[in-house]
Amino acid sequence: MLPGRNRRLIAFLGSTIGNLHPEQRGKLLATLVNTLARDDALLLGLDLVKDVARLEAAYNDSRGVTEVFVRNALTAVNGELGATFDQRRFAYEARWDPEHEWMDIGLRARQAHTVSIERLELDVAFEQASHSELRSARSSAANSSSSRPAGPGSGSSRGGPTVPAISRSP
């Protein structure tokens, strides 16, 4: 709460809005408009498009810091949900998507296999290395002065979402 008359401040920092597809950003902002009262405030973190070579160097760093961060998601799911993700079966990928002006980062299955997620009673089938992928939070530039979409979304840079097959365990 802000001082005086129960004013609220909603903070959305760190250019996180750039991790959303344009449609998702629109829905978020519309929800905020409908949620905020006249005297409330919004603090929104934005970023501009960075030099592509600089971004690629950061996400494909020689020490593998970003890859370790992304792979930690599999480790966390294994530990928290009893999943059977095998790190060796996934390749880390980070590439610039010029159409959306964002880095698209994630893990791609090296071979067909199935992962069980015990606590959710789910099996996730990764059928082909070129079609089964796990996408992670992607870094982007949210250029507020541009009408071009900026920011990552749930799809790959090859023309739309790619989702592994998911089925319930018996």
Write out pLDDT tens, residues 103-151.
888 899 998 899 999 999 999 998 765 544 555 433 343 333 332 222 3
Residue 34 covered by a domain = yes
Residue 167 has pLDDT above 50, yes or no: no
Name the residue type at position 153: G
Q: β-strand 9-12 against 102-109: which pairing, if any?
A: unpaired
Distance CA 116, CA 124 (A): 6
In angstroms, rounded to a whole number, what is the distance separating the alpha carbons of residues 143 and 154?
19
Counting the structural domains of the chain, the total is: 1
55 found inside a domain:
yes
Q: Does residue 18 contact residue 141 with C-beta atoms inside 8 Å?
A: yes
Out of 37-46, 136-145, 149-158, least confident range: 149-158
Q: How far apart are CA 43 and CA 17, in angstroms?
A: 12
4, part of any domain: no
**Torsion region of 45: left, alpha or beta (phi above 0 gives left; psi -120 to 50 gives alpha):** beta
Residue 78 lies in a domain: yes
Which residue is listed with tokens 């606590």?
119
Is 2 among the domain residues?
no
Instruction: Classify residue 14: in a domain, yes or no.
Output: yes
Residue numbers of the domain that contains 36: 9-168
Q: Is residue 1 part of a domain?
A: no
